[in-house]
Amino acid sequence: MARTYVRVQGNVQKVMFRQTLIRAMAKRGIRGGASNNRQQKDLVDITMDGNADEVEALVEALRTTKPLNSWGAEVVTLAVLTSGLDVDAHQVRYTS
């Protein structure tokens, strides 16, 4: 089980990014959550718990898939962080 914290920047707020991400987590069996940054409208913080290969595959998809959905969600930069929120502390989450 791998826990990964990620911060993405780009066109990620008001474009169904978090909902798209949660569906991708569910498809891969990853427990996780995402929260909009209230000060910087182009940032979203993410926490993922799951199989290391599945988590890495999702991180890579976030880096390379353009756009991520029909609303135009797009990650421009992605940083893997050393710490972050617990899954249950996020604004939206997938926990099953």
SS3 20: helix
Burial category of 16 from C-beta neighbours within 10 Å (exposed 0-12, middle 13-18, buried 19 and up): middle
Catalytic residue among 11, 31, 36, 93: 36
Q: Is 36 annotated as catalytic?
A: yes
Instruction: Lay out the sheet containing 31-36: strands in order across.
Output: 74-81, 2-11, 43-50, 31-36, 92-94
Catalytic residue among 11, 18, 28, 31: 18
Q: Is 31 annotated as catalytic?
A: no
Give the catalytic positions in this structure. Answer: 18, 36
